Structure 1
Amino acid sequence: MIFPVVLCGGSGTRLWPSSRKAYPKQFISLLGDESLYQTTLRRLSGERFDRPLVMTNEAFRFLASQQAAGVGLADARVVVEPCLRDTGPAVLAAALMIARDAGADALVLVAPSDHVIPDVAGFRAAVDRGVAAAERGALVTFGVTPDRPETGYGYLELSAPPDPARPAIPLRSFREKPDTETAERMLAAGNFLWNAGIFLFRAGDAIAAFEAHAPFLMEPVREAVGKGVKDLNLFRLDEAAYSAARSISFDYAVMEKAETVHAVPFDCGWSDLGSWDALWKEENPDDDGVATHGSVTAVDCHDSYLRSEEDGMHLTALGVKDIVAVAMRDAVLVADRSRVQDIKGLVAGLRAAQVRQADDYPRFHRPWGWYETLCIDNRFQVKRIMVHPGGVLSLQSHMHRSEHWVVVSGTAEVTVGDEVRLVTENESVYIPLGARHRMANPGKLPMYLIEVQTGAYLGEDDIVRYEDAYGRG
């Protein structure tokens, strides 16, 4: 049995504006109908795998649970990291939990939540090739056989060229992202792989490696696990202890220092989708080098990626070359394809200028569903709200606004003061300023409503919560 650990706390911005801090790329349906996180969970499920252990942060705890349930893995163990500490403490916490529950010899497979691996059977075969080395005590990493001199990935230097007779090869070194000339030499040498950031080991061996090479992490992370508490269907690591852990990656903390590291080569169409150029490749460009997604028309265009994220927004391009254009309701990106690696810096500049689109997503996800603003002006705001089946908003009141709810699909159970009643399609209810109220969806289908707010202040912090099914303050 293999115990999967999915690292799901990242908030990358290299695919901005589609991926933002409030709703990062692992949760987005970038390719197909499922999110990258959901396809990762599917890849790591089946008779050979135990239920996944998902390491995420406070902001994504409910998203991680909901999307896991969406692919039939409602029993996924979601672990909440109270603060960001990179992958080193996260991997150690997972190894300690699995060793405690399943024993030190339990095999642990650690994988990022936001990678693309189309050949699932090939990936699982690669995992099988690493099992023997892991059971002998090695820390196993997985590397992608390179087909070009890529400068956007780190590299693994093998002690010998890949050999089918040796499924796991001792690793000589880790290499940082190279320049073009160095990448070309690595490709020609034949004993370098792209670092995929996927690891296989026995839980006890990983813990021993941390004790040897990163002992400074042991006390705070062990305490964070020991003092962690179950919270609803989540496990929450102790905040004070985990905050004391140093922020460091698993590679830096352990893998680059350990002596018993082996690498398994694989070639399964892997991509970390680290840039719009990588997504352009995944979208299968046509003979003119143009790839499109969504509602797009391209005329006389070449070597470009054109993407519309909105059903009601049609993106058109005429005579463009070597660009990336991504259109969303609240933000549009137009970039030279050769500059897409600089988008992270662009977003940092937007954040410094306090541009809300730098981090905020047009649709705000909550444990009960989501809402989006359709229109806002002085003293009024119109929202569309979706509540999951069984979802329930907190019992709350507002100091500065009143609300009018119109149900447009499904049935809402509405509480206003001491009155509780059902509101069905095309019916409405008024919430006076200061009244205690809540809504819930008692049905089996999503419920949608339109909310009209009026008042002197419409900010989301104008909420006084009295009861909350999700433990929010």
Structure 2
Amino acid sequence: MITPVIMAGGSGSRLWPLSRQLRPKQFLPLTGEGTMLQETLKRLAPLEHRSPLLICNEEHRFLVAEQLRQQGITDARILLEPEGRNTAPAIALAALKAVAEDPEALMLVLAADHLIRDVARFHESVDHAQTLAEQGQLVTFGVVPTHAETGYGYIQRGEEQGSFGFRVKRFVEKPDRITAEDYLNAGDYYWNSGMFLFSAKRYLEELECFQPAMVNACRDALAGASQDLDFTRLDAEAFKACPADSIDYAVMERTRYASVVPLDAGWSDIGSWSALWEVSDRDAQGNVCHGDVMLHDSHDLLVHAEHRLVATVGVEDLVVVETKDAVLVARKGRAQEVKKIVSRLKDEGRTEQTNHREVYRPWGVYDSIDSGNRYQVKCITVKPGAKLSVQMHHHRAEHWVVVSGTAKVTIGETTRLVCENESTYIPIGQVHALENPGKIPLELIEVQSGSYLGEDDIVRFNDRYGRC
């Protein structure tokens, strides 16, 4: 039986400012009602499979858990990487887990941030790949190219293997424009999708031949792992000793068992704003609009407005993205270069690279409304039944005003209910906690004042989400 393995890491920097380090594109609803991760999970529904195994970064663990909960998925396993070591070790971890459950397990390895429009055709390709995987082949899905794309690697097919697959002749890097056109005209090249189906045991056997240190480090990281709520935490030191490499370089380009099954199902990795424009529904002028947008004499635009009216006059071939704290304007043909802005933000230590103004937490969300010298104002929303950690601050006091719902507030040894239009005050250095005991979201305004207002001025004494 197939074990789905969902790779949910990655920063999605090319879709800044919507995608941020702490909320990258796989956790955003870019192409449907659900997020990219949720759409990936929905795609599995008709397949006969075991509970999915997700691999994600430590900092995204609560996002993954919440989006699984929204989908009604309660049996998924979540592996936390203490730091990214590329795809080969991540898949090795999943393979070791799968083999422990079933020595004959097949793994369907998928990225959490891909679009597949024709799900039925995708399932057909999975069926074809499963036949080859059961014969010991390491199968990759080669996307039938629709144009001469320079942003993807390519796979050249070799001789036929069965009725629907081919042996891999070679993998090639991202080409220049002329080479990409040659590949398209040749007819035997596919885009490298980064999706795979193979026996977990065969993958480990091949990886052990080419990268034995990687397999040993992954075994040690799992042997020293601990369970934390819904998450499996790897032994950090053991995993950091693991060599970093992609599955293509570590295994697929070196094994004699590499096969490719064509995939013609409307696939895209949504790797840039221009790629999102290409796969989105457009109006008669070629525009893709989201939110409060007003256009005049404008065409071939992607305009994404999150929080206010965005208007354009007499422009073309642009990407315009507005969020609460940043606005991007770029030529559509140069949208890949957005990552250079993200690099500058990172180098300058600016928060716009890391977080939105709205920051998601396991208990809810807060929106940093305003800040200045010695003060900061937040709108805090706490989910029903959720509780913030028992904590204190060395450098700031806090004033809370309840806007809607009921807050259960603990200050020192005293606990009381604070209702709508009521307020409370937490002095500097006072241990306190906030809980929503009701059945509707609790919304309150928090005014912080003090000499230092950073999020690292939190001393946690007790936390139901394991963050102490």
Report the TM-score when normalising by structure 1.
0.96
Partner residue, 2:452: 457
Partner residue, 1:150: 149
Contact kept, 8 Å, 1:283 with 1:292, in 2: the verdict is no
Per-residue CA shift, 1:104-128, capped at 9, x if unaligned? x111111010011122222122111
Task: Structure 2: state its 5+ residue gaps.
Answer: none
Query: Equivalences for 1:276-355 in 2 at 5 Å?
Result: 276-310=273-307, 313-355=308-350
Question: Within the alignment, does 1:211 sit opposite 2:208 as a pair?
Answer: yes
Distance 2:185 2:353 in 1: 40
What's the secondary structure of 1:37's corresponding residue? helix
Contact kept, 8 Å, 1:144 with 1:194, in 2: the verdict is yes
Deviates more, 1:2-11 or 1:337-346: 337-346
Per-residue CA shift, 1:145-197, capped at 9, x if unaligned? 11111111111111158x9x721211111111111111111111111111111
- How far apart are 1:472 and its partner, in Å? 1.3
Partner residue, 1:223: 220
Residues 277 and 47 (structure 1), Cα distance of their counterparts in 2 relative to 1, 3 Å cut: closer
What's the secondary structure of 1:39's corresponding residue? helix
User: Paired residue for 1:265, among 262, 267, 289?
Assistant: 262
Partner residue, 1:380: 375
Query: Equivalences for 1:46-195 in 2 at 5 Å?
Result: 46=46, 48-103=48-103, 105-160=104-159, 166-195=163-192
Q: Which amino acid aligns with 1:134?
A: A
Contact kept, 8 Å, 2:31 with 2:115, in 1: the verdict is no
What's the secondary structure of 1:159's corresponding residue? strand
Distance 1:47 1:444 in 2: 36
- How far apart are 1:305 and its partner, in Å? 1.2
Partner residue, 2:422: 427
Distance 2:113 2:333 in 1: 23
Partner residue, 1:468: 463
State the Cα RMSD in Å. 1.5
What's the secondary structure of 1:169's corresponding residue? strand
Per-residue CA shift, 1:243-271, capped at 9, x if unaligned? 00011111111111111111111111111
Q: Which amino acid aligns with 1:410?
A: G
Contact kept, 8 Å, 2:32 with 2:39, in 1: the verdict is no
Contact kept, 8 Å, 1:65 with 1:76, in 2: the verdict is no
- How far apart are 1:364 and its partner, in Å? 1.5
Distance 1:231 1:305 in 2: 42
Deviates more, 1:404-413 or 1:17-26: 404-413
- How far apart are 1:203 and its partner, in Å? 0.9
Deviates more, 1:76-85 or 1:277-286: 277-286
What's the secondary structure of 2:198's corresponding residue? strand
Deviates more, 1:87-96 or 1:344-353: 344-353
Task: Structure 1: state its 5+ residue gaps.
Answer: none
Residues 444 and 167 (structure 1), Cα distance of their counterparts in 2 relative to 1, 3 Å cut: farther
Report the TM-score when normalising by structure 2.
0.97
What's the secondary structure of 2:283's corresponding residue? coil
Q: Which amino acid aligns with 2:439?
A: K
Distance 2:362 2:176 in 1: 44
Q: Which amino acid aligns with 2:138?
A: L
Partner residue, 2:252: 255
Q: Which amino acid aligns with 1:318?
A: V
Percent identity between the aligned chains?
47
Contact kept, 8 Å, 2:56 with 2:78, in 1: the verdict is yes
Per-residue CA shift, 1:373-402, capped at 9, x if unaligned? 001112221101122233211101112222
Partner residue, 1:415: 410
Q: Which amino acid aligns with 1:85?
A: R
Deviates more, 1:447-456 or 1:92-101: 447-456
Deviates more, 1:206-215 or 1:452-461: 452-461
Deviates more, 1:348-357 or 1:369-378: 348-357
- How far apart are 1:431 and its partner, in Å? 1.6
Distance 1:424 1:349 in 2: 45
Deviates more, 1:22-31 or 1:282-291: 282-291
What's the secondary structure of 1:320's corresponding residue? coil
Distance 2:457 2:171 in 1: 50
Distance 2:101 2:46 in 1: 20
Deviates more, 1:255-264 or 1:383-392: 383-392
Distance 1:324 1:400 in 2: 42
- How far apart are 1:232 and its partner, in Å? 1.4
Partner residue, 2:388: 393
Contact kept, 8 Å, 2:4 with 2:51, in 1: the verdict is yes
Structure 1's consecutive aligned runs of 4 or more residues displaced over 6 angstroms after TM superposition are none
- How far apart are 1:212 and its partner, in Å? 1.2
For this pair of structures, how many residues does the alignment match? 468
Q: Which amino acid aligns with 1:117?
A: I
